[in-house]
Structure 1
Amino acid sequence: MNFQIATLLGQDGLTNGAIYALLALSILLVFTVTRILLIPLGEFVTFGALTMAAMQMGKTPKLEWLLLGLVLIDCALDVYQQIKRHIDRNKMKMIALKLGYAVIIIALLNNLSLSEIPMIAQIALTLCLIVPIGPIIYRLFFQPLADAPALVLLIVSIALHVTMVGVGLLLFGPEGARTQPFSDTGFRLGAVMLKSQTLWVILVSIFLIVALFIAFERTLYGKALRATAVNRMGARLQGISPIFAGKATFALAAFIGSASGILIAPITTLYYDSGFIISLKGFVGAIIGGLVSYPIAAIGAVAVGMIEAFSIFWASNYKEIIVFTLIIPFLIWRSMNSHNVEDDE
C-alpha cells in the first residue's frame, strides 16, 4: 500500500463514516427520547435515494401513494377521536392541513417536469415527500405502545422494518439506481484526485451535526427533547408532551435518513433493501457511544467507515465481518464496567 492508495481509501472511509455518523446520531436521538431502536432507519435512506433517482429519470415517485395512504389513516384516527370526545376546531384545522399538504405534494409531483427542474428543487420535493412519513409512523405504530416494555418496542420496530422493505420492493422494484452528482468538479491533492461529491457528503454531514448540536443546546424545542431524553416523567410533569417528542424525533430521523440517501446516491448504487446494512453500521457507531454519548457515537461511526474502507484493501471478503465484530469488545467492556440494577417491582 502506498500513499496514493491510502489517501483514496481514507477518502472513501471519511465519506462512509460521515453518513454512518449521521445515522448513529439519529439512532441515539430516537432511542434516548422514545426507548425505540429505529431498525427501519435504513429504509428512509433507500427511499430518499430511489425517489430522487425516479425524479431524475422523469418518473413520478410511487412513494406518493404511501404518503397519501398513511395521511388518510392518520386523519381518520384523528377524526374518530374527535367524534368520540369533543370536536376541537383547532385540531380539525390540523387534520385539514395534513390532507391539504399531501394533496399539494402529490399535485406538484404529477404536474411538474421532474427531470427538468433544478436539483435543489428535486431534493426539496424528495424531503417533503419522505419526512412526514416519520411522525406518522410513530403515531400509528409506536404512540399506542409508548409505555410498553423495550422488548415489545423492538419487536414492533423489526416488524416495521420488514414491512417497509416489502413496500420498497413494491414501489421501486428490484432494480438499483444511482443519481447524478451534485457537481462534476474535482480537486487534486498531490497525486490524488478528490471527488467533489465526497466533499459534499463531508461538508453537509458536518453542517447537519453542528445544526443539531445548536438546535439542542440553544432552542426551546431542542431543550424540551433533551429533557425528555433525560427524564420522561419529569419532562411530562413540566408540560412537555411525550407525543410531540416522539413525533419530532421520528421527523428528524426521517429527514437525516433521507438526506443521507440523497448524499450517497451519486456515489453508490442503492437497492430497495440496501438500507439495512447501512443503518446497521451506524448502529455499530451508536453502540460504541453506549447509546448515550453523541460525540463518541459520531467518532465511532467515522472509525467504522475508516476500518471498512481499509478492510476492502486487506480482506475485502471479510469487511462486513470485521466491521460488525467491532461491537463485541465494546459490549464486553461496557458490561464489565456497568453496575447491574434490579428492576423495581
Structure 2
Amino acid sequence: MDATIALILAQDGIVNGAIYALLGMALVLVFAVTRVIFIPQGEFVAFGALTLAMLVNGQVPGTIWLLLLAGLAAFLIELVSARRNGRAGTLLRAAAGYLLLPAAAAGLTALLAGPGTPLVLNILLTLLLVVPLGPMLYRMAYRPLAEAPVLVLLIVSVAVHFALMGIALVFFGAEGWRTPPFVEGNIDLGFTLVSGQSLFVVGTALLLIVALYLFFERTLYGRALRATAVNRRGAQLVGISTSVSGSLTFTLAALIGALSGMLIAPVTTIYYDTGFLIGLKGFVGAIIGGLVSYPVAAAGAVLVGLLEAYASFWASAYKEVIVFTLIIPVLLWRSLTSRHIEDEE
C-alpha cells in the first residue's frame, strides 16, 4: 500500500464514519431517553434512501402507503387507550398527527412527484414521508412498554426490525437503488483528490452534529430530553412527560436515519435490507461510547469507518468480521472498568 491508496482509503473511511457517527449518536439518544436499544434505526436509513431514489426516478414511493397505514394503526391504538382511560380530549391531537399529517404528506407527494421535480424538493418530500414514522413506531411498539425491563425492549426492537424489513421488501421491492451525487467533481488538495460528494457528506454530518448540540444545549425541549436521560423518575416529578420525550426522541432518530440514508445513497447501492448492516456499524460506535457518551460514540464510529476501509483493502472477505469483532475488546474493557448499577425500581 502506498500513500495514495492510504489517503483514498482514509477518505472512504471518514465518509462512512461520518454516517456511522450520526447513527451512533441517534442510538445513544434513544437509549438514554427511553432505554430502547433501537435496532430498527437502520431501517430508517433504507427508507430515506429508497424513498429519495424512487422520487428522483419520477416514481411515487411505497412510503406513502406505509405512512398512511402506520398512522391509521397508531390512531386506533390511541383511540382504544383514550376510551379505556377516559381521555377523549387527546383524540383531536392524535387525529391531526396520525391521520391528517400523513394524508397531507401523501397527497402532496402524489401531486409533486415526477421526473422534473427538483432534488431539493424531493429531499423535503422524503423527510415529510419518513420522519413521521418515528413517533408512530414509538406509539405502536414502545410506549405501551415504556416501563418494561431493557431486555424486553430489546426483544421488541428485534421484532420491529424484522417486521420493518419485511414491509420494506413489500413496498420497495428487492432491486437496488442509487441516487445521483449531490455535488459533482473533485477538489485537488495537492497531495490527493477529494470528491465533492465526500466533502458534502462530511460537512453535512458535522452540521447535523452541531445542530443537535445546539438543540440539547439551547432549547427547552432539548433540556427536557437531557433531564429524562439523566433521571426518568425525576423528570416525571418536575412535570416532564416521558411519553412526549420518547415521541420526540424517536422523531429525531427517524430524522437522523432518513438524512443518513439520503447522504449515503449516492455512494452505494441501497437495498431494502441494507440499512440493518449500516445501522449495526453505527451501533458498534455507540457501544464504544457506552451508549451514554455522544462524543465518544462519534469518535468510535469514525474509527469503525476507517477500520472498515482499510480492512476492505487488506482482507475484503473478512472486513465485516473485523469490524464487528471490535465489540469484543470494548465490552470486555467496559465490563472490567464499569461499576454495576441496579435499575430503578
TM-score normalised by structure 1 residue count: 0.96
What corresponds to 1:95 in structure 2? 95
What corresponds to 1:111 in structure 2? 111
Whether the 8 Å CA contact 2:22–2:256 is kept in 1: the answer is yes
- Say if 1:343 and 1:63 are closer, same or farther in 2 by CA, change over 3 A: closer
Whether the 8 Å CA contact 1:285–1:301 is kept in 2: the answer is yes
**Residue 9 (structure 1) shift:** 0.5
Q: How far does the alpha carbon of each residue in 1:242-289 deviate from its partner, in whole angstroms, 9 at most, with x for none? A: 001111110000000010000010010011011111111111111111
What corresponds to 2:307 in structure 1? 307
Whether the 8 Å CA contact 1:114–1:122 is kept in 2: the answer is no
1:70 paired with 2:70, answer yes
What corresponds to 1:270 in structure 2? 270
What corresponds to 1:247 in structure 2? 247
In structure 2, list runs of 5 or more residues that go unmatched: none
What corresponds to 1:335 in structure 2? 335
Whether the 8 Å CA contact 1:178–1:265 is kept in 2: the answer is yes
**Residue 194 (structure 1) shift:** 1.3
Name the amino acid aligned to 1:52: L
**Residue 113 (structure 1) shift:** 3.8
In structure 1, list runs of 5 or more residues that go unmatched: none
Name the amino acid aligned to 2:66: L
Q: Distance in 1 between matches of 2:334 and 2:167?
A: 37
Q: Distance in 1 between matches of 2:249 and 2:344?
A: 28
- Say if 1:325 and 1:97 are closer, same or farther in 2 by CA, change over 3 A: closer
1:166 paired with 2:166, answer yes
What corresponds to 1:215 in structure 2? 215
Q: Distance in 1 between matches of 2:120 and 2:229?
A: 34
Q: Distance in 2 between matches of 1:137 and 1:40?
A: 10
Whether the 8 Å CA contact 1:284–1:327 is kept in 2: the answer is yes
Q: Distance in 1 between matches of 2:218 and 2:36?
A: 25
- Say if 1:337 and 1:314 are closer, same or farther in 2 by CA, change over 3 A: same
Name the amino acid aligned to 1:251: T
What corresponds to 1:133 in structure 2? 133
Q: Distance in 2 between matches of 1:301 and 1:96?
A: 37
Whether the 8 Å CA contact 2:78–2:94 is kept in 1: the answer is no
Whether the 8 Å CA contact 1:78–1:95 is kept in 2: the answer is no
Name the amino acid aligned to 1:220: L
SS in 2 for 1:234: helix
Alpha-carbon RMSD: 1.6
Q: Distance in 2 between matches of 1:267 and 1:302?
A: 17
Whether the 8 Å CA contact 2:24–2:286 is kept in 1: the answer is yes
1:15 paired with 2:15, answer yes
1:221-300 alignment to 2 at 5 Å?
221-300=221-300
SS in 2 for 1:290: coil
- Say if 1:342 and 1:2 are closer, same or farther in 2 by CA, change over 3 A: same
What corresponds to 1:148 in structure 2? 148
Name the amino acid aligned to 2:173: G
Percent identity among equivalent residues? Answer: 53
Matched length: 345
TM-score normalised by structure 2 residue count: 0.96
Once the two structures are overlaid, the 10-residue window that deviates more, 132-141 or 66-75, is 66-75
Q: Distance in 2 between matches of 1:296 and 1:243?
A: 27
Q: Distance in 2 between matches of 1:81 and 1:53?
A: 38
- Say if 1:275 and 1:335 are closer, same or farther in 2 by CA, change over 3 A: same
**Residue 189 (structure 1) shift:** 2.1
1:184 paired with 2:184, answer yes
Q: Distance in 2 between matches of 1:148 and 1:90?
A: 24
Q: How far does the alpha carbon of each residue in 1:163-198 deviate from its partner, in whole angstroms, 9 at most, with x for none? A: 111011111111101001112122112253211111
